[in-house]
Amino acid sequence: MKILHLETSSRNCSVSISEGKTLLSTCEEISESLNQSEKLHRFVEWALEGASLTLRDLDVISLGKGPGSYTGLRIGASAAKGFCFGLELPLVASESIATLAHPFLGKEYDVVIPLIDARRMEVYTAAYDGATGKVLEPTTNKILSENTFEKYQGKKILFVGDGAKKAQELLVQQDSTFLSEVYPSSRYLVDPAVERITLQQFEDVAYFEPFYLKDFHGVKKTK
């Protein structure tokens, strides 16, 4: 089963191809300009070339559904729907925030807390048991304060994601590590995508919407 994985919820425009749980290729780039609309389809082309496949070889489309950048999520969802409708393929969608925690589970941390910057002092966040990967807190948005994660005081904590930088300046945590230069990646959509495919947890492509978590607030121009 050959799967195209798309992740556009952050500054990392990321595309991967897998055959089941075997990763075949990844093409991704972190950019401050959030220009996924310019890169995504080119990265799909390069990822397919790296896997020696064509679009017609694909069986499923996998998408990182957010939360994250509103614009990035719209671009990813539109592309995923286009591939699904055009190629008559099913869609599975997984939370982008989980891809931040995934590479750090089963290591030396008691708790892994991904933090996605949601502007000002707000973050999108969740909490995972560092040993088992069990969800300790489901994905939500929080206003950071020095006591936001005090329930985990005394544990060895990893804060990971672009929201970790402002968290490090504020949080009072004794045994904590902060990694702010880490972004959601399509390569970590592989395992959850296969699990959803096995359980037949496919999205309704026509009605699918990204996991925005909060309403979009645009900026109104003044004359």
User: What pLDDT score does 84 carry?
Assistant: 98
4-19, pLDDT tens digit by residue? 999 999 999 999 999 9
User: Do 144 and 39 belong together in one domain?
Assistant: no
Q: Are residues 8 and 89 in the same domain?
A: yes
Taking the C-alpha atoms of residue 37 and residue 51, their distance in angstroms, rounded to an integer, is 22
pLDDT of residue 35: 73
**Average pLDDT in the 181-185 region?**
95
Same domain? For 50 and 36 the reply is yes
Specify if 219 maps to a domain. Answer: no
pLDDT greater than 60 at residue 129: yes
Q: Would 23 be classed as within a structural domain?
A: yes
Give the 3-state secondary structure of residue 112: strand
Phi, psi at 3, each rounded to 5°: -125, 135
CA 3/CA 6 separation, integer angstroms: 10
Is 215 inside any structural domain? no
Asked if residue 152 is part of any domain, the answer here is yes
Answer whether residue 220 is part of any domain.
no
> Tell me, what CATH number does 34's domain have?
3.30.420.40
pLDDT in tens, 54-73: 999 999 999 999 999 999 99
Specify the CATH number for the domain of residue 112: 3.30.420
Are 86 and 117 within one domain? no
- Measuring CA to CA, which residue among 13, 70, 67 is closest to residue 38? 13
> Residue 116 is which amino acid?
I
- Taking the complete model, does pTM exceed 0.85, yes or no? yes
At 215, the pLDDT band (50, 70, 90 cuts) reads low
Please report the pLDDT score of residue 36 as a whole number. 79
Say what the pLDDT of residue 172 is.
Answer: 67
For residue 153, give its domain range.
97-179
The verdict on 43 and 108 lying in the same domain is: no
Q: Do 113 and 59 belong together in one domain?
A: no
Residues 105 and 72 in one domain: no
Structurally, how many domains does the chain consist of? 2
Does some domain include residue 221?
no
